[in-house]
Structure 1
């Protein structure tokens, strides 16, 4: 089966010009490579199969010696004057980006736009390769009108892509290979052309169709594409002559190398798609691989990065219903949920994989906003944490009832919620969501109205302030007196907080790159953290504060240490107790099963799976205290 390029002429009744399609993305503020992974992953997630985990990969490939096969297959290109010059870009030093997904349904349905899809299929092929601006037919999908596919063409220096897909429908038409290009409108003699081009098998009626079945398989193999020999379904989209973008300072700007581009793409995936890496209740999630010239590495779990861990914890709280509801008096009465988690502020610059596409400067103090599909829309900045040693991350997730209203506020790149131009309920929901999130942050960070007597003075003010400092999964708060059940004073008698402090003792694996082998093993599981709600317990007439510490699994033994400090107004640690005042003290570590008990501040945790531990501290009446848990050493031998 022969294949060639075919150029679309304007129909007498009018057609869409290529320029208009490319410009539909506008001028995004995001880096084009970031837009690419966001849009491509949305498409892949919407096309997921019900029984599999979506595998998503990006391969930055240099043509090199393979260029002869590419030129033989794709040349001659569209006619001169079309704006698509494949001859100039298909050179040994040329770069192609191969964006792949597996365990997706592929681009199925009819191969021609005028045909009706059957009841059990979706017209994905024509929606991606032929039509423009069709509404999404995926409930709670990440996309809206499909304009995002323009990024594939914009990233190509020739405006050209090649699509290889293996559809869930199977059969001879299940495997499809087709090319497409967007140039600019042009004239050939007196005849005007739209600037849209397709590469494929040109049928007798002069309309191009995809190359099918074994012919598609043979051609894809000749180009070195990933293929579908393992029988999985999915799609490979190849961006010809990819523009990898620029890097460097203002005085030393240069083009990204393939390895720099791969690192930036991996970083963009982590910041924009981390929610899809966390399995839901049914185990559904996405796995991401990025590499150069076919050598792809699996991206680490987002919780392995200090900068992302509070966002991960906040999302987990939202998923299990522990978030604060965004409630309204009129429909939709439940429009979303908010949660926030606090962690130690990362010390210095993080690993390159997280820094390359980081969407903000400094420690996290942001809220990741997302719709039901859990694809990050943006990071809404909030106030700084009152204690510079800490950072926080929040999540606001739209409800199913309000999802369409938030979708209507998004630009084609889905990277903002814009109330301007909306009206009625949609405008109220979108504007109200921003106010709701800001109010939640103010309350948790102590910037809202203070409680506790006239003028908000005394311990009541301090307790109210700390009630805002200690939200979510990492922090807990309770009130109690010198004995369980004693009364309150000024609204709160005695409080406590639990938190993870990573700014203290050095630990194996700290520093850029993860450090020692032991550090790498520990990094895979994350760091120990205080979880749940600490309790006030009374034993033989004495009161104790008990915090639960979750210790991730690791391949090496570790020594953990706990401290407990009185917190003063402003969130700082009391450096010297008043004369005669009681000072809290760590008494004991105890395993959840009770089989291991270690008196004192430190405990040795053997190598093994994740485990829960209890830390016991003496109770100090009428004080707010802070638990700190840190790793002080690891045994790499």
Structure 2
């Protein structure tokens, strides 16, 4: 058998075929960009191929050396078809070096099974190699796993400017580890050459005696893979690496300004869609991610520290703890709702709602969204929901129950990025996807239906409360949200001395109270607009807390209260300044037009209101 790489161009069969571009078109339309789809599809395939409960997953953006580039271009892809994007391969190297994007998994079973698509797999044998390398589409026998080498693999060819990938796999066989290396292209349309039609699909490998291309196998394949820079698994281990040759530019059109734009976009995609798999549940993360640029690793992914998803990740951690111990006490910021169908009675999943207070560095893009999850615990999509009836944001997670996972899986398009209600409908059966999505929507809408008994303590304008009886929601605020309190002469307002009227210094509450976290403790901020006053007069502004009782009255006598339930004054902050002034009063000269924020600690289950006083500084 000839061990040199040869090209095989796929001819149209006499009985009909499909061109290579159909593989990409079959993915359908998606709102996601190339890099998000690439990470989702490749990771799903890798995780589906896991041997144990966890895998390693790495993407490397690398410029090959001159010798590696020469072997790739002049030995493996020495032959090129007469038409198609792959004919531009030799134009891709710059100064003798070509850039590649290599996607690798470890702790996976590799691409095993028969080498030919017309050979049936043996008992307990899978057909992963032919499903990924040769076949178009996916057999129904593969089930409803996330990837399973179906139509979504077309994104790999889209990610290459020339539609070419080189695939290396180590897979376990009864006789030991088998090594396989083959080149594939799938980004071209069909064409005619010498009166014969070709589909545009091409393979590069070892030409067999029957004129069919097979992968290079054995240690020759491993040595050839290493010679072009593949990060191969250890000799006795299995796994797969896919080298996207000449990857698309980050913005798909112009030269990239920053060389790291592409790999950072891929890392960001993993954070956005795969953060549940990166959470350490006590046994380590399900996926150990690694992203690198020319041999330098990017920062590891820790979902609880990532601004975009950290609140979602914490909601998921709360759910994991709830599964272990349903009696776990959670803070009033967290509420766990069972989501059920009534006809028939069936648990569809759990909704974890976490109302977050704004912290420095938090991303706002996904506020008031629900991350929809099913097996293998990747985010299907972020569902926008009605915001809580306060200025605080909810970051929620819905986890579909494993028993109804097939219902949710069957509702997904090829790209697995949505739950489409219509595709889950079967006459005479309950549509669990429709029911679950409606239940989720209703839960958030119901937050706006106030219960007078439950909200009696916040009926005074300007009051805040963190209350467990409000379903874990923070900072309920009734009224217009912009009511003001204005000082009267008896409260220290200063007349201007002008005839026919007076100009007083006033302090007006300009917005609802804002709950925030300072040193991991809830605080509340009251924003006052201070203006007016007599010329060249020194004034001072003070603020004192008040407690709103269950009946809605104001309590200023704290002598009988538990000190732990009392708000404490922290300080003032001037607009535009980060520093908190710890003095009980802030001094300013009039006339003035300024914004001052009073900051207090916010006890649980206590509604807090504030009274502001403007008065002249005593000489």
**Pairwise CA RMSD:** 3.6
Larger mean Cα displacement after TM superposition, 458-467 or 332-341: 458-467
Do 1:177 and 1:210's aligned partners in 2 also have CA atoms closer than 8 Å? yes
Distance 1:40 1:439, change over 3 A: same
Q: Gaps spanning 5+ residues in structure 1: where? A: 351-360, 476-499, 506-527, 531-564, 589-616, 627-637
Aligned twin of 2:444 = 441
Give the deviation of 1:69 after TM superposition.
2.2
Give the deviation of 1:366 after TM superposition.
1.1
Aligned twin of 1:336 = 349
Give the deviation of 1:335 after TM superposition.
1.8
Give the deviation of 1:80 after TM superposition.
1.1
TM-score by length of 2: 0.71
Establish whether residue 188 from structure 1 lines up as the match of residue 165 from structure 2. Answer: no
List per-residue Cα deviations over 1:490-521 (Å, max 9, x = no partner): xxxxxxxxxx986435xxxxxxxxxxxxxxxx
Of 394, 403, 406 in structure 2, the residue corresponding to residue 401 of structure 1 is 403
Q: How does 1:186-585 map to 2 (within 5 A)?
A: 186-229=191-234, 231-246=236-251, 255=256, 257-280=258-281, 283=284, 285-297=286-298, 299-319=300-320, 320-321=322-323, 323-331=336-344, 333-347=346-360, 362=365, 364-388=367-391, 390-424=392-426, 428-443=431-446, 446-447=447-448, 449-452=449-452, 458-459=456-457, 466-467=467-468, 470-471=471-472, 503-504=517-518, 578-581=555-558, 585=563
Of 2, 6, 10 in structure 1, the residue corresponding to residue 8 of structure 2 is 6
Distance 1:346 1:465, change over 3 A: closer
Distance 1:366 1:384, change over 3 A: same
Counterparts of 2:158 and 2:301, CA distance in 1: 29
Distance 1:80 1:247, change over 3 A: closer
Give the deviation of 1:133 after TM superposition.
1.4
Q: Gaps spanning 5+ residues in structure 2: where? A: 327-335, 476-513, 523-544, 567-600, 610-619
Counterparts of 1:104 and 1:567, CA distance in 2: 60
Give the deviation of 1:39 after TM superposition.
0.6
The count of corresponding residues between Structure 1 and Structure 2 is 490
Counterparts of 2:182 and 2:306, CA distance in 1: 40
Give the deviation of 1:318 after TM superposition.
3.3
Do 1:419 and 1:431's aligned partners in 2 also have CA atoms closer than 8 Å? yes
List per-residue Cα deviations over 1:230-289 (Å, max 9, x = no partner): 6332110010110032199xxxx7536431111111111111100111245765610101
Establish whether residue 168 from structure 1 lines up as the match of residue 172 from structure 2. Answer: yes
Distance 1:391 1:70, change over 3 A: same
Give the deviation of 1:331 after TM superposition.
4.3
Secondary structure of 1:333's aligned partner: strand
Larger mean Cα displacement after TM superposition, 176-185 or 396-405: 396-405
Larger mean Cα displacement after TM superposition, 7-16 or 253-262: 253-262
Counterparts of 1:285 and 1:110, CA distance in 2: 29
Distance 1:331 1:206, change over 3 A: farther
TM-score by length of 1: 0.69
List per-residue Cα deviations over 1:3-31 (Å, max 9, x = no partner): 11111111111122212111112232111
Do 2:547 and 2:554's aligned partners in 1 also have CA atoms closer than 8 Å? no
Aligned twin of 2:83 = 81
Aligned twin of 1:158 = 162
Of 119, 122, 126 in structure 2, the residue corresponding to residue 118 of structure 1 is 122
Do 2:161 and 2:247's aligned partners in 1 also have CA atoms closer than 8 Å? yes
Give the deviation of 1:172 after TM superposition.
6.7
Aligned twin of 2:110 = 106
Distance 1:137 1:269, change over 3 A: farther
Q: Which of structures 1 and 2 has the bigger CA Rg?
A: 2
Give the deviation of 1:427 after TM superposition.
7.5
Aligned twin of 1:72 = 74
Secondary structure of 1:167's aligned partner: strand
List per-residue Cα deviations over 1:529-556 (Å, max 9, x = no partner): 89xxxxxxxxxxxxxxxxxxxxxxxxxx
